[in-house]
Amino acid sequence: MYNHEKILKIISSLNLNVLCNEPMCNHTSFKIGGKADFFVTIDSVNTLKQLIEILNDLKINFFLIGNGSNLLVSDCGFRGVIIKLGSDFRKIKLIDDETIECGASALLAKLCTFAQQNSLCGLEFAYGIPGSVGGAVFMNAGAYESEIKNVIISAKSINYFGETINRNIDNMELSYRTSVYKKVDEVILSAKFKLKKGDKIHIKQKMNDFVKRRKEKQPLEYPSAGSIFKRPVGNFAGTLIQSCGLKGKQIGDAMVSPKHCGFIINTGKATCSDVVKLIDHIKAVVFEKTDIVLECEVETIGDVSY
Ligand SMILES: Cc1cc2nc3c(=O)[nH]c(=O)nc-3n(C[C@H](O)[C@H](O)[C@H](O)COP(=O)(O)OP(=O)(O)OC[C@H]3O[C@@H](n4cnc5c(N)ncnc54)[C@H](O)[C@@H]3O)c2cc1C
């Protein structure tokens, strides 16, 4: 049985900084989500291992978040423990002339800047993606004709028994917006990226150009989770949604962005329920008019179904 007091006792015994009844809207780029019973930020691998082993043993629900930029959290929140990796997992270092090792909670933007400062190219595409390195590996994040798969060589993780696992690219099953980590219970701790020597100024120009293109095309002035749907084979979700007459369609405060129909934006106080209803509506209309089934890209926490 779910026991609030017992969980609090366990977390406190590990000397962790814990927030109780923490609104998840404070931790998602969508600015949506009810309260999580417990929210802990973890700074060391050992504590992470201990906590995960205990929670797993006692069958207490937990969910690891990165930077919260691809998450839709239920209005009822989450019964259990939300875990976020802290400072010890943000380190970025050069392994050799062309290889960078990066902690899972470092922001992609920091990794890209580090690469640029070391005259290493290959990561420019990721500069404007507002996720952490762990989240980007989990999702095989990509943009502008590249993706994590093209630059990663290996990653270190721990499973829910606290065992360390090293995966090289051959056993990461990276493909369009997915990875092996969606199938296995593992927390990514760090990843290694193999890049190429390039010109610092040219790399910076490319990064800036991609960001400029994002600002022009994407509704970055509103909270969102980026593209809500995966790209259907041979098509673009945004184009399809627009061609079905859904541009600007609104349910509650959730709206199909008039600037980019692939984005659902939170125009004020959108709830998860508004977003789910809008997703269902879009999927139904697009299927009715085109026979294409749209699949969500966004990950969910708590009781969310569409
Ligand atoms: C404005 C905007 C633009 C975006 N543009 C793009 C884009 O161009 N391309 C693209 O691919 N995505 C894009 N996204 C989506 C999002 O930024 C990416 O999916 C990103 O990789 C998610 O990383 P995150 O750290 O925020 O992960 P979260 O959203 O926090 O989590 C996503 C999933 O990753 C898992 N996860 C996170 N960290 C770890 C870890 N250390 N170990 C194991 N699992 C982990 C979580 O459990 C969850 O299931 C965009 C989002 C926004 C808001």
Residues 77 and 98 in one domain: no
Q: Which atom of ligand 1 is nearest to the CA of 85?
A: 41
- Decide if 90 is catalytic: no
The reply to whether 157 belongs to the active site is no
Q: Give the SS3 label for residue 62.
A: strand
Res 84: pLDDT? 98
Ligand 1 pocket residue status of 133, Cβ below 6 Å: no
Residue among 42, 72, 139 whose CB has most ligand 1 atoms within 8 A, to mutate: 139
Give the per-residue SS3 of 207-226.
HHHHHHHHHHHCCCCCCEEE
Q: Give residue for tokens 């290493």.
A: 120
Q: Among this protein's residues, is 227 annotated catalytic?
A: yes
The pLDDT value recorded for residue 305 is: 81
Q: In which domain, by residue range, is 246 found?
A: 219-301
165 lines ligand 1 (CB under 6 A): no
Pair (158, 75) in one structural domain: no
Both 101 and 197 in one domain: the answer is yes
Flag whether 166 is in a domain. Answer: yes
Higher pLDDT, 140 or 305: 140
Q: Identify the pLDDT of residue 6.
A: 85
Residue 244 CB–ligand 1 contact under 6 Å: no
Q: Look at residue 254 in the predicted model and tell me its pLDDT.
A: 98
181 CB near ligand 1 (under 6 Å): yes
Q: What is the pTM of this model?
A: 0.97
Assess whether pLDDT exceeds 80 at residue 140: yes
Closest to 301 in 3D by CA, of 107, 93, 65, 115: 65
Atom of ligand 1 nearest to the CA of 89: 41
> In terms of Cα–Cα distance, which of 113, 79, 110, 82 is closest to 200?
113
Residue 293 counted as domain residue? yes
Which of 27, 58, 87 is the C-terminal boundary of a domain? 87
Here the CATH number for the domain that contains residue 12 is: 3.30.43.10
In terms of domains, do 178 and 248 share one?
Answer: no
Q: Is residue 178 located within the same domain as residue 120?
A: yes
Structural contact between residues 40 and 16, judged by C-beta atoms closer than 8 angstroms: yes
Note whether residue 210 is domain-resident: no
Backbone angles phi, psi at 125, to 5 degrees: -60, -25
Residues 58 and 162 placed together within one structural domain of the fold: no
Ligand 1 neighbour 138 (Cβ under 6 A): yes
Task: Check which CATH number belongs to the domain holding 154 and give it.
Answer: 3.30.465.10
| Average pLDDT in the chain | 96
Asked if residue 209 belongs to a domain, the reply is no
The structural domain count of the chain equals 3
Q: Are residues 82 and 104 in the same domain?
A: no
pLDDT for res 3: 81
pLDDT digits over 218-242, tens only? 999 999 999 999 999 999 999 999 9
204-213, long-range: CB < 8 A, 24+ apart? 204/116, 206/121, 206/124, 207/112, 207/116, 207/124, 207/127, 210/124, 210/125, 210/127, 210/128, 210/143, 210/144, 211/127, 211/128, 213/144
94 and 197 share one domain: yes
Bridge pairing between strands 71-73 and 299-301: parallel
Domain of 224, CATH number, reads: 3.90.78.10
Q: How far is the CA of 103 from the centre of ligand 1 (A)?
A: 15
Last residue of a domain, one of 87, 103, 120: 87
Whether ligand 1 lies within 6 angstroms of the CB of 210 is answered as no
In the chain, what percentage of residues exceed pLDDT 70? 99
One DSSP character per residue, 86-109 reads -GGG--EEEEETTEEEEETTSBHH
In this prediction, residue 306 carries a pLDDT of: 77
Task: Single out the residue in 19, 53, 87 at which a domain terminates.
Answer: 87
Q: Looking at the domain assignment, is residue 168 inside a domain?
A: yes
Ligand 1 centre to CA of 275 (Å) is 18
- pLDDT tens figures, 272-304: 999 999 999 999 999 999 999 999 999 999 988
> Residues 270, 190: one domain?
no
CA distance 114 to 75: 37
Ligand 1 nearest-atom number relative to CA 71? 29
Pick the catalytic residue: 22, 124, 147, 297? 297
The 10s digit of each residue's pLDDT in 240-274 is 999 999 999 999 999 999 999 999 999 999 999 99
With respect to residue 65, please indicate whether it lies within any of the assigned structural domains.
yes
Of these residues, 124, 177, 179, 257, which one is catalytic? 177
Please report which confidence band the pLDDT of residue 4 belongs to, taking 50, 70 and 90 as the band edges: confident
Instruction: Read off the pLDDT of residues 60-109 as tens digits, 9 standing for 90 and up.
Output: 999 999 999 999 999 999 999 999 999 999 999 999 999 999 999 999 99
* Per-residue pLDDT band at 5 (split at 50, 70, 90): confident
Tokens of 109: 């933007």
- The answer to whether the CB of 74 is under 6 A from ligand 1 is no
Question: Which pLDDT band, with edges at 50, 70 and 90, does 1 fall under?
Answer: low
In a domain, 265, yes or no: yes
How many other C-beta atoms can be found within 10 angstroms of the C-beta atom of residue 3?
Answer: 11
pLDDT digits (tens, 9 = 90+) for 144-163: 999 999 999 999 999 999 99
Q: Do 123 and 56 belong to one domain?
A: no
Residue 242 lies in a domain: yes
The answer to whether residues 79 and 114 belong to one domain is no
Q: Summarize the confidence of residues 178-192 as an average pLDDT.
A: 97
Same domain for 178 and 133?
yes
Is 126 exposed, middle or buried, given 0-12, 13-18 or 19+ CB atoms closer than 10 A? buried
